[in-house]
Structure 1
């Protein structure tokens, strides 16, 4: 998947059906606060975005917009769920750790609104 500069990958509040691995380019993550877009992070090659919605099936916490031309690999909900299921079978501690971290990150984000 390719994005042009300024193109929106996903919007805050949308339901997530995929995560993305950044192969090339830069993505800015931002949240809406009092009607203004507030930058949270800038992610680059080798980073994954959008994974939290797939792990806990909650709406997107933030928006993602291409800063420059980007090449991404889409990780489907089904693919990630299969991996999480395998992890639950092979390492329940790590599986619960990931779910706990996502829940805490969401709680932290809600508390800073």
Structure 2
């Protein structure tokens, strides 16, 4: 069923998948390879927020809240990605509620994990005097 709403993309090392501020029109699932999520930090240059591997999802925030991308994504090595567009995601929500529920619940768990990791990093930075 999920194959009906996805496409597959292959990207070479160094390919920019999207950058900060781009429209959030796709959700990605990594099949093979690694993707680096990063953001420009004033006075420091590009800061890697995460390096994601097979089975991990990215691009979901902009798709869920329809805001521009909050970070950029770059192929950290050659990768194959499963892609769900915003339109296909909306169709999934309307036509296949059970599957949409599973996808959304997976996104919620992942976002909760990432929020915990961010909180841990902020705590470390504030207690180490770097914040």
What is aligned with 1:48? 57
* SS of residue paired to 1:23: strand
Q: How many residues align?
A: 99
Output the TM-score relative to the length of structure 2.
0.64
Superposition pairs of residues 36-75 of structure 1, within 5 angstroms: 36-75=45-84
Q: CA deviation at 1:26?
A: 0.2
Unaligned regions of 5+ residues in structure 2, if any? 1-8, 123-131
Task: Tell me how far apart the structure 1 counterparts of residues 91 and 65 of structure 2 sit (CA, whole Å).
Answer: 14
Runs of 4+ in 1 over 4 A off after TM superposition: none
Task: Tell me how far apart the structure 2 counterparts of residues 63 and 84 of structure 1 sit (CA, whole Å).
Answer: 26
What is aligned with 1:13? 21
Task: Tell me how far apart the structure 2 counterparts of residues 81 and 61 of structure 1 sit (CA, whole Å).
Answer: 21
Q: CA deviation at 1:11?
A: 0.4
Task: Tell me how far apart the structure 1 counterparts of residues 46 and 87 of structure 2 sit (CA, whole Å).
Answer: 31
Output the TM-score relative to the length of structure 1.
0.73
Q: Which has the larger radius of gyration?
A: 2
Unaligned regions of 5+ residues in structure 1, if any? none
